[in-house]
A = this chain, B = another copy of it.
């Protein structure tokens, strides 16, 4: 029966049905998986297969189209789309299996030509990784590439990024980059080979956002499950909150900044953006008048520990003994940890390790003055991080300890630097 290989277009006959599609890799030798034209995969038990017809042998897809040559429009902003990989820039690789990142930003423009009505688009693939493999070292590369593009005249930047860790990167870039133009991260939850893909609408919306009179780092993703609008989120106030839905990203402890309609190209501000920049004028040919400075010093010896009943406090000692400079605790409730690990926390702070407290409730604010547990932790030197997300606190600590001594980092960790902390969380950000 196995005269066919992964990548072949085949027709499988079972007792009652005929399935046509491309063979995908299967984890189970008893099952043949094919990707059908509608984009969905179906697995068919070998035992139920009556016959297989190979309609077309598979071959490596080739992408050897010439580079794009497009006339620059003087009344449009110059936007650089930097691709780092991920679903927004992915295709299914029928030869090696499942979904792999592959398209360059150039290919994206080819797929969505209407981007050219919104801005002068430049595309560049700066990385090609799955975002689950993102590291602080890659953040530095991205920051450097952003700097280059701004120096080369970009009026706005779009970063195509895998969604798994997009909020970590958005937050890292928020701290690392000081620019007076918008830097907009965008991803997709469904790859562009699927009819239900959100890649195009997200990318169009991100490019719209990148032409706005704002500055700083943002995330643009679907605002609801349907293909209706996208939200513009602040880069250090957003989190992936669903594994598969298109509206997976939510602003936390604040509402999104704006609603973007990718069909009409309209943007509706829901609140005043924190970082307005009305003066972001269009750069002329090879000119650059935009402020840009980056700071790529990051201390990687920083750990995130999530608290749970029965947690082994010695994990803290492990980090301390291995030279860690900072620990972010994802505590319970208002910022608590079991008293059984107080001695371990004391071990850390006594050795000069910066220990900061966030909450695993995600929504809400740490308040370590209400209960005795929180007060004790403060006496041990633990710093409550207000309404900052644990993921953001982790990245911020890497940034602070990469640039300052521990005393200064301790002073800054719970002060708002780039919008990561709001003084009063909006009531309508949680319901």
Contact = CB atoms under 8 A, between A and B. Distances in A.
A168 B308 CA distance: 8
A13 interface: no
Interface centre among A131, A136, A369, A371 (most CB of B within 10 A): A371
B375 A97 contact: yes
A4 interface: no
A187 B51 CA distance: 60
A128 interface: no
A309 interface: yes
A91 B401 CA distance: 40
B133 A339 contact: yes
How many identical subunits does the complex contain? 2
B394 A240 contact: no
Interface string A227-246: 00000000000001111110
A211 to B, nearest CB: 29
B340 A133 contact: yes
A162 B332 CA distance: 11
A163 interface: yes
Contacts of A398: 310
Interface in A148-199: 162-165, 168-169, 172
A300 interface: yes
Contact of A364 (B135, B168, B243, B366): B243
Nearest to A363: B242
A240 B361 contact: yes
A309 B168 contact: yes
Given A318-B318, A336-B164, A372-B100, A367 B244 contact: yes
B371 A99 contact: yes
Interface of A: 25, 27, 96-100, 130-136, 138-139, 162-165, 168-169, 172, 224-225, 240-245, 247-248, 300, 302-304, 306-312, 314-315, 318, 322, 330-340, 359-367, 369-373, 375, 378-379, 391, 394, 398, 427, 430-431
